[in-house]
Amino acid sequence: MKPPKFMYCDPDSVEEAVALKSRYGHDSLVLAGGQSLMPMLNMRLANPEVLIDINRVTDLQQITRDGDVLEIGAGVRQSVLETDPAVAAAVPLLGLVVPYIGHIENRHRGTVGGSLAHADAAAELPCAAVTLDATIVVQGTEGRREVPAREFFEGFMTNCCAPDELVVAVRFPVTPAAAGSAFVEHARRQGDFALAAAAAVVTLDAQGHIASAAVGVAGISGTPVRATAVQDALVGGPTTTEAIAAAAAAVGDSVNAADDMHATGTYRRHLAVTVVKRAITAAVGNAAAVERNGS
């Protein structure tokens, strides 16, 4: 488990990193926290000519609030999202999903941009990005562009970046104060990739019915997905156990992950419905609590 030879570059700026990316394209890989890349290198599953280490690019390590948008630099460590009060106030879901990423040691190294770029369909941050309609900021020789999260993830561990582009930030819309957020995940062990996970953000109307719902699901297909059928079934409806269960059942049709040694397809479908149901229930509970505390 030793990597093959590669050239190592450690640029100081985004521009330098982009220039290297532009020069080496598909023959290069970006090293951020290394929590997925280093094992892939050591097992020779990745064989880049050039490794571009962006850990010295401090510009990528900022969190900024810009009106209704929270922008998180690609180089920000995942563990920061667990403890930063500005993040908790602006986008509560992030603080709920991050503890499920690996173990604390992984989160101290792993970065926000790294997880998004890696595009594992069972990973937590991609699921949160899709649920919250985040935009991923990528930068290449042509400059910056913003890609909606639902377009960023193209397929199994594939993102939409061009060979000369790298992820520089992710922009999350600030969650309305009255919304309730929740995240429910099931994995074989704590810290493993999800067999199925669901994020939910809901708001309630004056009658206590569901006014809006965003439900994202991880681990059930090649990319994290929005459970639109579930959302449609929820909106305008009551928050009874039966109504939520009936809505959640619709996610089963979106499950197309193949059987593996940890989960059969049948099990994963049941699990997807279960985590969606539980996430919505918890989000509704949190929304109601916000309302009670606010009034």
Residue numbers at the binding site for another protein (CB under 8 A): 1-5, 39, 43-44, 186, 188-193, 195, 261-264, 266-267, 270-271, 274-275
With CA atoms as reference, report the closest residue to 284 among 205, 229, 224, 225: 205
What dihedral do alpha carbons 151, 154, 155, 159 form, nearest 10°?
-110
- Looking at the Cβ atoms of 65 and 188, the one nearer to another protein is 188
Q: Which helix (H) or strand (E) holds 118?
A: helix 112-118
Q: What are phi and psi of 141, to 5 degrees?
A: -65, -25
Q: To the nearest whole angstrom, how small is the minimum distance from the Cβ of residue 120 to another protein?
A: 11
Tracing tokens 């594992």 back to the chain, one arrives at 120
Q: Are strands 50-53 and 28-31 parallel, antiparallel or unpaired?
A: parallel
What letter would DSSP give residue 111? B
- Looking at the Cβ atoms of 166 and 275, the one nearer to another protein is 275
- Looking at the Cβ atoms of 1 and 206, the one nearer to another protein is 1
- Looking at the Cβ atoms of 191 and 237, the one nearer to another protein is 191
Q: Are strands 196-204 and 143-148 parallel, antiparallel or unpaired?
A: unpaired
SS3 31: strand
Token pair for 124 = 């937590």
Q: To the nearest whole angstrom, how small is the minimum distance from the Cβ of residue 13 to another protein?
A: 31
- Looking at the Cβ atoms of 141 and 190, the one nearer to another protein is 190
With CA atoms as reference, report the closest residue to 247 among 219, 210, 222: 210
How far apart CA 223 and CA 214 sit, in angstroms, is 16
Q: To the nearest whole angstrom, how small is the minimum distance from the Cβ of residue 19 to another protein?
A: 29
Q: To the nearest whole angstrom, how small is the minimum distance from the Cβ of residue 114 to another protein?
A: 17
Q: Which helix (H) or strand (E) holds 14?
A: helix 14-24
- Looking at the Cβ atoms of 69 and 187, the one nearer to another protein is 187
Q: To the nearest whole angstrom, how small is the minimum distance from the Cβ of residue 266 to another protein?
A: 7
Q: To the nearest whole angstrom, how small is the minimum distance from the Cβ of residue 151 to another protein?
A: 28
